[in-house]
Amino acid sequence: PSPCRAVRPLEISTGSENRLSRCLNSLDLVALGVGSTLGAGVYVLAGEVAKDKAGPSIVICFLVAALSSVLSGLCYAEFGARVPCSGSAYLYSYVTVGQLLAFVTGWNLILSYVIGAASVARAWSFSFDNLIGNHISRGLQGVFSLPVSRVLAEYPDFFALSLVLLLTGLLALGARESALVTKIFTGVNLLVLSGITLSGFIKGDLHNWQLTELDYKLAKPGSNGTYSLGPLGSGGFVPFGFHGILRGAATCFFAFIGFDSIATTGEEARHPQRSIPVGIVVSLFICFLAYFGVSAALTLMMPYYQIHKDSPLPEAFIYVGWAPVKYAVAVGTLCALSSSLLGAMFPMPRVIYAMAEDGLLFRSLARIHARTSTPVVATIVSGVIAASMAFLFELSDLVDLASIGTLLTYSLVAFSVLAGLSMDVPHCLVSSGISLWDIVKVTARGGSACLWQLRRSLEDTVDLLEMGSLGGGLKSCLISGVGPVLPQLHPFSVFLLTILCLVLAHWPGWLFSGDPVSTAAAVLLLALIVGTTFIIWRQPQSNSPLYFKVPALPVLPLLSIFVNVYLMMQLTIETWAQFGVWMVIGFAIYFGYGIRHSLEKKTDQQPPVSSFQTLNENIHGDEIV
């Protein structure tokens, strides 16, 4: 097959074969996930959404956003149990759908992590500077100044540069040390948030969830002009209606980005098949409780239209007469930013290392330090890049660019679940170069005769059909004589969902206008989506035991793709143009270097049994026997 469509054989290293150190337990992964996800947004985002978009119904926004994030989280959890190796979504895509999409996934992960780390570093610097009276920024603006530009910052941020380099050194020391620091910062952050939630419920007033126009008029004379009142809407618990909840949920969705860092620890977790799914699900649940509690406390303490966007929690405690609590909020903010920064920097070198080890990036990036068992070169390179961006660039305009990369990655992971749900492949098939995608294609093209040949080839080996968890799904499929789903059906269903998202995002009036043509088109589109989903659902699915599987297949992966693509459609044309530039750079590296140096290009896999050799030739050849 073409190198672009080549699928990576799944090789799970254990014991002395593993190059990275297996030292992380489930608690470490939960701390990493919570630290990566529960950043400074919990201290700022709740105020912004509550004031202008949702009011007290922000608690529903976080619930909707959490449920949407769980869709992607469940897909990651299944692959964490199925493919417990380093590389996260990059490896998941490589094992199931091929090299080119795997490179796209890994390249977008790198984009998300680099921009995320640099942005958090600048936010840390800004928060600390604000805490000490803005002395750092004033001093640097007086001595250094950069040319006025939309991209470059007003002044070089030496504090953010030093912070990123310091944490890069910590990450190079080892995964265990990094996990310990992350647990400390995350623990303090959760303790502060618990105190904020409890204090808010104590000092809160349920009347703030039932505000009227009279309350709004009474609040106007009390406004000092420094912070203008936000819109009232219709008052009550849902002042901006259902549309406001959806707008708020779209913003809150990005507050749950970060849990995917857990999936990069496949070769450093002690029991990855169990720890990765547990870490993802538990961390998302903890983050939802924190966001829900803080947003409820904030809107109970003061009217939503009086919330201050820049510092909602400190001003809320001043409003209720508990001004000293703002210092605890400041400590929690710095701890949240620290754990979030570590959470963004920890997975970045793991993805680069996995891609370099496969030959898609420069091989020198895959070097492992003999004593610390960390990808030291990838850690240093990624740290220097993130530090340079934090030092020079204004990153607020690039946050949406990181979001589009993350959403595309989530969609590709969900698509990988769809591509791999029909059956499991025994390790001997994988080691023979016969991938899951190959078997799907050959059975779709060759029909029952090819299925019979595949079964006979398997029966001639060391009784592979009785291998339990390895061969159970394949055995049931072969005995039943039912072929897997056509490989074109999964991309077709995603294509239909993309059209639906495009219409809903940009021409919703046309879809619901009542015009006979638009109504017929909408009904046809929905019928095709439901029909393809039904056909995929009726295909034979794997019954091999895993610690975790995505429930309600294939509905949840398709729903996850729909949510992610819809949110991508909300981003601006400028963001898509920046994304296009990033992808052009990536494709230049892939087609100029990666495609010629990849392991799939160089390695000639030899099957262990002659019957597999015949089958492999039939699958990879031009003709079907």
* pLDDT one-digit tens code per residue, 370-380: 787 788 899 99
Say what the pLDDT of residue 258 is. Answer: 81
Q: Alpha carbon 143 to chain centroid distance?
A: 40
User: pLDDT averaged over the chain?
Assistant: 77
pLDDT over 70 (residue 612):
no
Question: Which has the minimum average pLDDT: 21-25, 247-251, 471-475?
Answer: 471-475
Say what the pLDDT of residue 4 is. Answer: 64
Question: Which has the minimum average pLDDT: 326-330, 411-415, 618-622?
Answer: 618-622
* Among the listed residues 172, 171, 21, 593, the one whose alpha carbon sits nearest the alpha carbon of residue 355: 593
Which residues does residue 393 pair with via DSSP β-bridges, in sequence order? 152
Say what the pLDDT of residue 462 is. Answer: 36
Question: Which has the minimum average pLDDT: 81-90, 229-238, 383-392, 546-555?
Answer: 81-90
Which residues does residue 24 pair with via DSSP β-bridges, in sequence order? 269
Work out the end-to-end distance of the chain between its first and last CA atoms, rounded to an integer number of angstroms: 17
Q: Provide the whole-model pTM.
A: 0.75
* Among the listed residues 226, 298, 219, 321, the one whose alpha carbon sits nearest the alpha carbon of residue 45: 298
pLDDT tier at 301 (50, 70, 90 boundaries)?
very high
pLDDT tier at 291 (50, 70, 90 boundaries)?
very high
Per the model's pLDDT, the better-predicted residue between 426 and 344 turns out to be 344
Say what the pLDDT of residue 543 is. Answer: 60
Cβ 17 vs Cβ 257: under 8 Å: no
Say what the pLDDT of residue 584 is. Answer: 94
| Cα(230)–Cα(203) distance, integer angstroms | 22
| Cα(266)–Cα(116) distance, integer angstroms | 22
Report the SS3 class of residue 98.
Answer: coil
Residue 51 DSSP one-character state: I
Per the model's pLDDT, the better-predicted residue between 178 and 625 turns out to be 178
Domains of the chain: 24-419 (1.20.1740.10), 427-620 (no CATH)
**Mean pLDDT on 51-66:** 90
Contacts of 242 (CB under 8 A, 6+ apart): none
